Amino acid sequence: MSSSTAADLSLALYFANARIHQVLDEALSIRLGINFDDYVLLQSLADESDMELVRLATYLGNTRMGLLNKIRPLEKIGLLVSAGNVSQRQVRLTPAGQRTLNTAQQIVADDSNGMFGDEDLGGVLELVEKLN
């Protein structure tokens, strides 16, 4: 792949990501009062009962303090709870957080299906997974 093609791909992925965020932010905020980043955070906690803040921040590509700033509003509305000192803080979904996540998963699935055709999904997913 030439460098200009790679640069074009990088820009295309950036703008595609921005569009996905825009569409899903709007859908989630209207229906649930959360944004797509909140959804990703909730989804990341779904498979584990407790996750250490530092590990979660690393997984999400964020700093500990940056993640704390995202967690606090979700704690205030009862979707998350955290405990422990800052260096060993554990974060988990509350029952309300799990219910919100369940609804959000359906919203994201429905709105994502509206953005992508079924014939496009396999190839795009394969390409993006190579980046991870």
* Mean pLDDT across 109-125: 77
Query: Alpha helix (H) ranges present in 33-117?
Result: 36-45, 53-60, 64-76, 95-115
Q: What dihedral do alpha carbons 27, 28, 30, 34 form, nearest 10°?
A: -150
Three-state DSSP class for residue 80: strand
pLDDT digits (tens, 9 = 90+) for 22-78: 999 999 999 999 999 999 999 999 988 789 999 999 999 999 999 999 999 999 999
